[in-house]
Amino acid sequence: MRTPLVLILLASWRASAQVPLPEPPFLPQNASAGASPSSAGIPNSQWSSLLGNLLYFYEAQRSGKLPSTNRVKWRNDSALTDGQDVKLDLTGGLYDAGDYIKCTFPLSFTVMSICWGATDFGKGYDLANQTPYLDDMLRWSLNWLIKAHAANNTLFVQVANEEIDNAYWGGDRNIPLPRPSYQINDTSPGTDAAAGTAAAFAACSNLYANRIFSNSYSGPATLQNATYAATLLEHAKQLFTFATSASGGQAVYQHSVPEVGKAYASSGFGDELAIAALFLSWATNSSSLYQQAQGYWQQYSLGSYDGVFNWDNKTPGLPVLFAQIAQANPSFGGNASTWQTVAEKYFDGIVYGSGPGYQTHGGLLYYKGDSDDASLNPSLNAAMLLTRYVPLASTQSRRNDYWNYAKAQVNYALGNNPMQAPYIVGANPNSPQNPHSAMASGGNNISNINTSPPQEAYVLYGGVVGGPDKYDRFFDIRADWPETEVALDYNAPMLTLAAMHVLNDTADPFYTSLKAGAYDSKKPQGMPCDDAYTDGCSGPQLSQGSKIVLGVIPGLTGLAIFSLLGWWAMISLRRAHDPLY
């Protein structure tokens, strides 16, 4: 007797169904709750709430037809015609930042980072009761990437035109048209975008298949689903083949699609090839792919890079992943101690100060250039990698130093900084009040973003903003996108870090010690100096007390110089009259 097709489809749906969402749903608390200490214990309720808020942010960034389980009530269905220009359904996915474009390259990095983190520290999501929302967020993102991977050798890398989008400031009901769809394909390749998306699919397949690296970590979040893991792995394999063997050769994706270079231009593709091969080697138990990844490391001279880990450059994460896999399965032919040496050279440069990054006076890890827009992102990504590497460190002193450095960077982001501001929207009364988000602002006057309306219409709970400048100043100006814009990749490292703290930390996040008004007492005068504003480029604005101090110092210096001149004149006169001098 044949099984009815409907039962086959139902069984298939059940096999790939996501973790049921809680009822009643988790909803962020008022920011005032972030100024109250929690009762001690694990899981810590404040860290659990923070983890929930960070995931909630991704729900606020959704595009397309919203489900009945939507928790962000001020959001609406949007961009329902995406893909019609190419006769495909490209609706859904996530808006990339404070605007309405959808970009595959940073999205794939974001989900790769989150899946990697949820594989290592996934039990933190379980303890915080946030695993259903992690599953929901990942599937919403991955299912859109599956749509974007429309054929074996075709990947849509952006939906919407940057210039049209930047000319609009308003809500999600009136997003301007047209919204063109941009693709790479066999004859117009994008090695970086294809390999980066392959890495995302492979990393997430590992998570859904429960492929753990080591007992040194907590293990994956409890969302295992073999059917979904297999689907993701198939897309990963196809995209990696596309990246390595397109008939058009290998190239950065903006070479084929110049439009994408306006927002997310890529600097190379060797790092994407290596990290895709690594995640695939673990997903398929392939020593040859591991060796291939080591080959890319040599071929593209990736060991010479000592900069930041972000959506464009995955290189700093590679030695950690090489070491994780080599330790987990020595038969792959990797030498764990060799990769420890490589990783520790990079991390020592950060922690002990020999690398290109430096610490601001307030303690933020800062890279000239890379930190000028979104200063918190390099810092939090470094903290995330350091925290992951701690169990692999070669000495106890490094374990201690790496852990303490990472914790200090997290504490800085959560309010232990000169502004006394936690840089996560809605976490505390001192959190940013004016995130650069067209959706959340409630305004529609692009010529008057800052004061129309005077107060942000909606609280974008859980959004990590760009962060302060190199002087540790944060102006909280809506139009100042380098400091106040939110973005998908900004939240990613903080998610992994928060999950880790849920697992291990009985102490509250730093911001619970900050009372209302703390930031207002520290808020800088004047205007910023960055890519959005040049008004403050004459130098950092100082408080009156600092001006008095700086006024006194030249006066004392002048007095000292005058006294020295007098002393020298006296000596000269004595020499002229006394042969003993």
H helix and E strand count, the chain:
20, 5
Instruction: Exactly one of 165, 344, 485, 505 is catalytic; name it.
Output: 485
Q: How far apart are CA 174 and CA 153, in angstroms?
A: 33
**Known active-site residue 120:** no
Active site residue 485: yes
Q: How many C-beta atoms lie closer than 10 Å to residue 581's C-beta?
A: 10
**DSSP label of 19:** P
Which amino acid, one-letter code, is at 488? L
Contact 494, 398 (CB under 8 A): no
Partner residues linked to 103 by β-bridges: 158
Are 222 and 122 spatial neighbours (Cβ–Cβ below 8 Å)? Answer: yes
310: region left, alpha or beta (phi > 0 left; psi from -120 to 50 alpha): beta
Active-site option among 476, 480, 489, 508: 476
| Whether 293 contacts 315, CB under 8 Å | no
Question: Are the C-beta atoms of 125 and 137 separated by less than 8 Å?
Answer: no
CA angle 390, 327, 109 (to 5 degrees): 65
Burial 134-169 (b: 16+ CB within 10 A, else e): bbbbbbbbbebbbbbbbeebbbbbbbbbbebbeebb
Q: Are 103 and 155 in contact (CB under 8 A)?
A: no
Of 35, 47, 271, 16, which is closest to residue 142 (Cα–Cα)? 16
Structure-block tokens of residue 427? 């976490």
Contact status, residue 99 vs residue 156, Cβ threshold 8 Å: no
The answer to whether the beta carbons of residues 34 and 512 sit under 8 Å apart is yes
Give the contacts of 380 (CB within 8 A, at least 6 positions apart): 409, 410, 413, 464, 490, 493, 494, 497
C-alpha distances (whole Å) from 452 to each of 433, 438, 479 are 14, 11, 11
Distances (CA, A) of 492 to 141, 252, 255, 348: 13, 24, 28, 23
Rounded Cα distance between 183 and 188, Å, is: 8
Q: How many residues does the chain have?
A: 581
Sign of CA dihedral 527, 532, 534, 539: positive
Bridge partners of 121?
219
d(CA 470, CA 359): 9
Instruction: State the DSSP string of 299-318.
Output: HTTGGG--S--SSS--GGGH
Known catalytic residues are: 476, 485
